Structure 1
Amino acid sequence: MLYGKFLANNYTSLVFSSYGENWRHLRRIASNEILSPGGLNGYCHMRIDKGKLMIRKLMMTSSSPVNMNSVFYELMLNVMMRMICGKRYFGVDIPEMEEGNRLREIIDETELFNSDSVIADYLPQLSWFGNRAEKRFIALQEKRDVFVQELIEQVFLSAGTDTSVATMEWSLVEDVEESDMLNHPQVLQNAQSEIDTKIGKDRLVEESDIAELPYIRWIMNETFRLYPATPLLLPHESSEDCTIEGYNVPRGTMLLVNQWAIQNDPKLWTDPERFYLERFKGLEGTNVGFKLLPFGSGRRRCPGDGLAIRVFGPTLALLIQCFDWERLSEEMVDMKKGQGFTMHKAEPLVAKCKTRPEMQHLLAQL
């Protein structure tokens, strides 16, 4: 309890704050400013650069075993650090302590509130920090640095990185019998065929192309369904005494929503344990409702859903478009789930990739 209170800065951060004026202002900053569609479009070039960097590094390891967990972590930290500080993250192949120290050095070097940084410089300029019409928040001006630090550490570096890494790793291989990317390559072949037909072989997939690639979106949705990054979502708490479905719920009761159980409920999904992409056929552009909740729902819905989709979809499509993938041996990939708040594989995914012959001429120009 004390750890949670310390982590949440006495429960005043965006993630842990109770619903009220403080939370609404923090949410508005995250959703309407930094993570709005317009705001995310402004960082599109950063995501493109990091995607190309990932492809170039994978080309150098062609046919050699690659730890995809490390690849995805480096990609996400590159994206986040570039958005926050305007600098690229240096990588993950160093001892843990040195890595943590270097991260702090990067943030310190950018001088969070100078004119050269990106998000870290933009946040203090938002109306919430300087709107004199709202006198009750003037005192918070003195705590500006604390709130900015929490948004960066909890929303961007922590929540925005760990969950996306887990989802992208699961998307490459699923524990199924009929269709999976590494254990059964038919999904990979179908996805490559779709990209080759609709995008061609003379350019790389872009964010705007995902809307025209239904097979890629099916893979994303089925990964979200079978392997939700946060199986229990974030804890909720009842603010008042209430009665739900005949049950008396006292004020202050903690509620954990079992997202995994909903998305694997045989009453809602046919053959729910099967990785079956075609279950989403015809649902493009429609709301699946509360059957699929990868980002939660309502006012506590994850504000980073737009960013997650913009990274997950193009990254998956690029890996499929540029490389052929295979297991290290004839044995099926170990699909055991690890322990923790987020659903990671127990063992990192290690696979071999080989540049597709028809893409070599294009990738040679990167």
Structure 2
Amino acid sequence: MDALHYLGLLVSILLIVYQHIRRNKIQPKNLPPSPPSLPIIGHFHLLKLPMSQTLTNLCNKYGPILLLQVGSRPTLVVSSRSAIEECLTKNDIIFANRPLLPSRGQEKEKIFTSIGAPYGEHWRNLRRVYALEIFSPRRLLLSANIRTEEIRFMAKHLFQSSFKDVQKVDVKSLLYKLDFNIVIRMVAGKRCFEEDEMNTDIAKDKLDELNQTFTLLTPTALGDYFPFLRWFTFYGAEQKIRKLRRKRDDFAQALLDEQRKADRKIVPTLIDSLLKLQESEPEFCNDNVIKGIVQALLIAGPHTTVTTMELVVSRMITHSEVFKTARDEIDKHVGLSRLIEDADLVNLPYLHCTINETLRLDQVVRVLPPHESSEECTVGGYHVPGGTQLLINVWSVHMDPELWEDPDKFKPERFLMCEEERVGCKFLPFGSGRRQCPGAGFAMRLMELSLGTLIQCFDWEKAEERPFKIIFRPREELTKVLAQL
């Protein structure tokens, strides 16, 4: 077996060297600029964390359109507004695919279950489900009560805890419990965390398990970029990825089985709606598709919204004038006799702008998930071969001094002054084009209502840096309202 491994390694290396020489001979003359590369690994050694800063530095040196060879994968990096617009408008269909990485599994039924499916008819059907069954105005209206109830459940918990010893609240843990409760209630009609277990070890263990199962961070499998290394890494990163996938599948399957046995409700859960769709479209909406949608919501939803809300809280703690302006706006339009509701959000533009400014400065995903070209195209006058991976460096655009005045300063009011700030590819917290995040509207509503409630009801005092902890003291003016929750 050892001899076979070494033979396979040798053959793989020879094939890569041959392809490298052949590509250099036939490649067009107008490829994008590229730094000097090394044999076999290409530019892999240049990619260091934080990735957004590394790509920005490379583009500052070689130009806003850059071609890297990451192992066996050609990768186009774009870091300017004009180049991003060209990729996501003129060439949007060409770049509508996601790379199919070997470590993520090549089984068709698994690849095609989520919104990350290859572009085509099946992907359009999935997008239709997200648009109509999950994030449509009607569905968001139906789920408004869930958001309101869970956010008030959080406020009640903080209010009651304030009567005990001074409570230093782990902000991220609190918001994760809130977010998982909301998403699981929407999906399956039940809570993850009940009131009597919020501060218990049971809740901590449950939260740790959920975060590990539905993390956005998965191991990097070098075999995705260096095919010959799959001989050595298959039992490492790839096995971890497969184990994680099985855990997610088991979790979603349990929810699906539970909903099949339950009585249909007056307000159906998401799984109820998908099971009904399965009756009319059984070939498309099979069990794997339903589980894929559930997993996508649990992976993409809580992590990004919770991290963003924690960053907003951190920004507001260090910018007391922003906190005061946001509270004054809420007091003016909502008052002190009731708590903020979903319908009030349209009258709270400064709160919305505060979240936008946090997304601009501290975006969780600074380099968008990779796209891949389905055929050759032209970007900025350069030839881009088919099968090229595309990395969009959003952070470089959000920090471009030609697009933003004082880009490194936290100024929410910049989004009040000009509608142009929200237009085109200048501000891309949720991506753009066909692969734009379908849950952007839901995420903004959830963040605005959650943060608005905390701003309206509590005075904040920073307690610890890591983990980030806050002391939430109930406002005297809201004590009676909070006591009635």
Match of 2:147 in 1: 47
Q: 1:124-173, CA deviations, whole angstroms, 9 ceiling, x for partnerless residues? A: 322x7634xxxxxx6446xx11000000011x111111111111111111
Cα distance change on mapping 1:105 and 1:254 into 2, 3 Å: closer
1:94 aligns with 2:235: no
Match of 1:273 in 2: 408
Which SS does the other structure have where 2:463 is aligned?
coil
Partner of 2:280: 130
Contact 1:218 1:278 in 2 (8 A): yes
2:334 corresponds to which letter in structure 1?
I
Indicate how the Cα distance of structure 1 residues 139 and 185 shifts in structure 2: closer, same or farther if over 3 A, else same.
closer
Task: Give the structure 2 partner of residue 77 of structure 1.
Answer: 180
In structure 2, what is the Cα distance between the partners aligned to 1:353 and 1:6?
Answer: 48
Matches within 5 A, 1:110-129: 110-112=258-260, 114-116=262-264, 118-126=269-277
RMSD over aligned CA atoms reads 2.6
Is 1:209 aligned to 2:344, yes or no? yes
Partner-residue secondary structure (3-state), 1:354: strand
Which residue pairs with 2:452 in the alignment?
Answer: 317
Give the equivalent residue in structure 2 for 1:18: 118
SS state at 1:302 partner:
coil
Conserved 8 A contact 1:233-1:258: yes
**C-alpha contact 2:372 2:387 (8 A) present in aligned 1:** yes
Q: Could you tell me which amino acid in structure 1 is paired with residue 137 of structure 2?
A: P
Find the residue that maps to 2:131 and give its secondary structure: helix
More helix by share: 2
SS at match of 1:268: coil
Alignment of 1:134-149 (within 5 A): 139-140=283-284, 144-149=286-291
- TM-score, normalised to structure 1's length? 0.84
Q: Could you report, residue by residue, the CA deviation over 1:56-91 in whole angstroms, capped at 9, with x for unpaired residues?
A: 111133241000101111111001110111111126
Distance 1:355 1:163, change over 3 A: same
How far apart are 1:350 and its partner, in Å? 1.0
Q: State the aligned residue count.
A: 334
Correspondence list, 1:193-272, <5 A: 193-272=328-407
Alignment partners' CA distance in 2, 1:328 and 1:98: 26
Gaps in structure 1 of 5+ consecutive residues: 132-137, 175-180, 334-346
Tell me the CA shift for residue 17 of structure 1. Answer: 1.3
Task: Judge conservation of contact 2:252–2:294 (CA < 8 Å) in 1.
Answer: no
TM-score (norm 2): 0.64
Kept in 2: contact 1:226–1:273 (CA 8 A): yes
1:284 CA displacement: 6.0
Distance in 2 (alpha carbons) for counterparts of 1:8 and 1:74: 34
CA displacement at 1:285 relative to structure 2: 9.8
Counterpart-to-counterpart distance in 2, 1:8 and 1:171 = 40
Separation in structure 2 between the aligned mates of residue 291 and residue 227 of structure 1, nearest angstrom: 15
In 2, distance between residues paired with 1:41 and 1:98?
Answer: 27
- Provide the secondary structure at the position in 2 that maps to 1:327: strand
CA deviations 1:281-337 (Å, max 9, x no partner) are 2336984331111111112111111210110111111000000001116xxx5xxxx
Relative to structure 1, the CA distance from residue 282 to residue 206 in structure 2 (aligned partners, 3 Å threshold; closer, same or farther) is same
Is 2:485 the partner of 1:358?
no
Query: Given the superposition, is the C-alpha separation of residues 8 and 189 from structure 1 closer, same or farther in structure 2, using an over 3 Å criterion?
Result: farther
User: Residue type matched to 1:94 in 2?
Assistant: D
- Give the match for residue 31 of structure 1: 131
Q: Tell me: CA distance 1:196–1:34, structure 2 relative to 1, closer, same or farther (3 Å).
A: same
For structure 2, list consecutive stretches of 5 or more residues without a partner in the other structure: 1-100, 214-246
Distance 1:261 1:8 in 2: 36
Over the matched positions of the two proteins, sequence identity in percent amounts to 37
Q: Residues 367 and 392 of structure 2 are in contact (CA less than 8 Å); yes or no, is this contact kept in structure 1? A: yes
Deviation at 1:200, TM superposition (A): 0.7
- CA drift of 1:224 comes to 1.4
3-state SS of the aligned residue for 1:93?
helix
Larger radius of gyration: 2
2:258, 2:408 → 1: CA distance?
A: 47
How far the C-alpha of 1:108 sits from its partner, in A, is 6.0
- What is the alpha-carbon distance in structure 1 between the residues aligned to residue 320 and residue 259 of structure 2? 48
Among candidates 255, 272, 291, match of residue 426 of structure 2: 291
Quick one: distance in 2 between partners of 1:94 and 1:8?
34
Deviation of the 1:248 alpha carbon: 1.2
Q: Deviations over 1:14-45 (max 9, x none)?
A: 33212100100011011122211111111111
How much has 1:263 moved relative to structure 2?
1.1
